[in-house]
Amino acid sequence: MTTASPVLTVDGPGGSGKGTICRLLARDLGWHLLDSGAIYRAAAIAADRRGIDADDGPALLPVAARLDLRFEAPATADGDVVVWLDGEDVTAELRQEQTGNQASRLAVIPAVRQALLQRQRDFREPPGLVADGRDMGTVVFPDAAAKVFLTASAEERARRRHKQLKEQGVSGSLTALLQEITERDARDRERSVAPLVPADDAVVIDTTGLNVDQVLDRMRELLSRKGYRVPTPD
Ligand code: C5P
């Protein structure tokens, strides 16, 4: 039965390493992957295309409810998922800082979150799901088999984002990034609905000073304590 599929939720602020960790774990487990931030980001792009302000709840609602969104599996194991919105490839635009900021503005609106809820739950299919977001363990999949909350200092997260953007050929100031990250964190943490907080039963891992392999090891340990073995790639 679909609802019985196990879910691993990975929540935390931007730049905490969730995206990379979730992609690798989903690959190793052979489970599906939900990048819920991409759904909020796509909603922000859809609103922008229609000239709708990211704070305009009543106008955003029908857009969020009827998002024509499709995720295409990457061509290679290390590749990025391709995101199609209204039949257009929006993958590059989706990753821009500005899109993330717009997404975090519309994400404070309860009705918008509600409109996107079922779309996220629909990703839960056998053999299992790795769900990356802010409220995966608290709201979307409260019955998840294992819950992790990844954190890292704002400075470390800004450094990581800066490096990531540089690798994508995007230049930007570290100071400006740090400020954006701090503002986005505050918005995500202080909103009234589904704020960014660890679920009561989440294991909190501070990834400051840890590399990807070290974080993955901790997650493998957690999953194996819960009875799920994560095969290690050769
Ligand atoms: O994770 P990502 O940076 O792609 O998310 C963009 C924004 O979407 C976040 O800053 C947050 O405001 C919102 N979001 C959310 N709930 C989620 C995922 C993302 O509110 N589950």
Best probe residue, ligand 1, of 71, 129, 134 (max atoms within 8 Å of C-beta) = 134
CB 159 within 8 A of CB 167: no
DSSP H stretches of helix in 95-226? 97-106, 110-121, 154-167, 174-190, 212-225
Closest residue to atom 18 of ligand 1, CA basis: 37
Distance of CA 40 from the midpoint of ligand 1 (Å): 6
Distance 61 CA to ligand 1 centre (A): 17
Contact present, 129 and 8 (Cβ < 8 Å): yes
pLDDT by 10s per residue, the chain, length 234: 445 799 999 999 988 889 999 999 999 999 999 999 999 999 999 999 999 999 999 999 999 999 999 999 877 766 788 999 999 999 999 988 899 999 999 999 999 999 999 999 999 999 999 999 999 999 999 999 999 999 999 999 999 888 888 887 878 889 999 998 999 899 889 988 889 999 999 999 999 999 999 999 999 999 999 999 888 876
pLDDT value of residue 11 = 97
Are 131 and 10 a contacting pair, CB within 8 Å? Answer: yes
**CA dihedral (56, 62, 63, 65) positive or negative:** positive
- CA angle at residue 208 from 202 to 209, to 5 degrees? 130
Domains, the chain, in order of start with CATH, read 7-222 (3.40.50.300)
pTM of the model: 0.93
- Give pLDDT, residue 3: 55
In angstroms, the CA 159 to CA 182 distance is: 13
**Distance in Å, CA 188 to ligand 1 centroid:** 8
φ, ψ for residue 50, nearest 5 deg:
-95, 5
Residues in a beta bridge with 130: 8, 33
